[in-house]
Amino acid sequence: MKWQSPSRQILLICFLIPSASLLSLSIQPAHAASNLVCIGLTGSNVCPTSPLAFTHPSFGQGLEIAVNVENSSSFNAFDIAIKADPTVLNGTNILNVGDTFRASGGIVSIASECINGHPIQGNCSSQDGPGVVHVAAASNIVVTGGHLFNVTYHIGTGSTPIAYQTGCTNTSNDGNCVTIVSAGTVIPETLQAATFNNAPDFTINSNPSSINIAINTTGTATIVIAAVNGFTGTISLTASPSPGLTANVSPHNVTGSGSSTLTVSAGNAGSYNVTVTGTSGSLSHSTVVSVVVTGPPPDFTITVTPSSQSLRRGSSTMFTIAVKGSNGFNSTVNLGARISPLVNHSPTESLPSTVGPYSTSTMTVSSQRNTTVGSYTITVTAMSGSLSHSAVVTVTVTK
């Protein structure tokens, strides 16, 4: 990997079948398109669409990963060093070296297997040491991708990248200790690493993630805390609302898994956000809740004045009807009236059937010479869509 260990390079050359000249001490990078060397799932010979994030709930158990190549130029040898924090992932074994060659009927020769700077087969290089798993192998056939080898790890507690050792030159991704070779020529490759997290932690989410309320009313959401990897700490919760919004969380402290209630309100319509942050020691996670505050819905009022009138038989009188919209109401209003009690020769009313949202109109009430003397109520109803309002006036008919 330049390769940094001449003894390994010579050893790997000897394994290249049938020609010992397939690799040389002066390996030069080829001008082929870069493709992908990745950390993948065991049982797969392709790369994931995005870097894997491994998690594991139990301290002391094992993790197995695969190292794969996908859509590469043809190659017949590789030399790859994987690195992780050995206190979190401690390499224990190397498995299935060169599966992709064997699957195509090839013979695999292993030049070196090294874990944590200790040789399992062959020799280790100067880049090997704690946390490094290093494999070099070659075959008598060429392939363009597939599964190269597996690594098993003993799991501790914490988090670590599962990446590639650095400090190598003239490799497939210069500076990284990954070399894919075809007939002595280094094939450029793109590298995809992975991560592992077994550290106690927590997640924070809101249910729901958005709240809709009216002005000067309150809305709530449940802030859900979930412990990860045996987390048992106490989480302090704070709410940071945008200007104009009032927000509070209760209770303020949650231990392990649990929940808290977020309460919000605002005196003005608009769109707001509130960030709820949970903090425990060096751990801090947040969730953002959107809040939409709306004003009162469009509406209107109706008034009829005066509230009562008297008229003699055979005469008429008038009432003023005022319709006034509010909160942006701007629709036509339908008017109707009902007289009670309804008897023979009752008074009659006349008023417009429709009016505008901000209008004044007149209702005329008439009596006949034979109208029964007495008091009558007139209910004036105004309707617009689902909105309906009424006003009641009194008419007294005299002789």
pLDDT for residue 55: 84
Instruction: Give the residue-averaged pLDDT of 189-205.
Output: 93
pTM here?
0.56
Q: How confident is the model at residue 7 (pLDDT cuts 50, 70, 90)?
A: very low
Which pLDDT score is estimated for 25? 27
Strands 185-187 and 178-182: antiparallel
Q: How do 194-197 and 53-55 pair as beta strands?
A: parallel
pLDDT exceeds cutoff 50 at 18: no
pLDDT in tens, 19-41: 322 232 233 444 333 589 999 99
Q: Answer yes or no: are the C-beta atoms of 293 and 272 closer than 8 Å.
A: yes
Q: What is the pLDDT of residue 258?
A: 97
Same fold for the pair 6-197 and 201-294: yes
Predicted confidence at residue 59, as pLDDT, reads: 58
Burial of 370 per CB tally in 10 Å (0-12, 13-18, 19+):
exposed
pLDDT at 1 over 90: no
Q: What is the pLDDT of residue 157?
A: 83
Per-domain residue ranges for the chain? 6-197, 201-294, 299-398
| Mean pLDDT, residues 227-232 taken together | 88
Q: To the nearest whole number, what is the mean pLDDT of the chain?
A: 90
- CA-nearest of 229, 230, 237, 251 to 204 is 237
> What are the pLDDT digits (tens) for 279-296?
999 999 999 999 999 988
**CA gap 80, 110 in Å, rounded:** 12
Average pLDDT over residues 170-192: 95
Nearest to 5, CA basis, from 220, 165, 147:
165
pLDDT score of 171:
96
Evaluate whether 299 touches 329 at the Cβ level (below 8 Å): yes
Superfamily name with CATH number, domain 299-398: Immunoglobulins (2.60.40.10)
Q: CA-to-CA distance for 306 and 323, rounded, in angstroms?
A: 15
Helix (H) or strand (E) holding 101: helix 99-103
> Model confidence over 65-120: pLDDT tens digits?
999 999 999 999 999 999 999 999 999 999 999 999 999 999 999 999 999 999 99
Q: Residues 322, 303: contact at Cβ < 8 Å?
A: yes
What pLDDT is attached to residue 27? 37
386 burial (CB, 10 Å; 0-12 / 13-18 / 19+) is exposed
pLDDT band at 177 (very low <50, low <70, confident <90, very high): very high
User: Which position has the higher pLDDT, 149 or 198?
Assistant: 149
pLDDT in tens, 293-328: 998 888 999 999 999 999 999 999 999 999 999 988
pLDDT value of residue 57:
58
- Domain 201-294 carries which CATH code? 2.60.40.10
Predicted local distance difference test score (pLDDT) of residue 121: 94
| 102 contacts: CB under 8 Å, gap ≥ 6 | 108
Q: In the CATH hierarchy, which fold is given to the domain comprising 6-197?
A: Immunoglobulin-like (2.60.40)
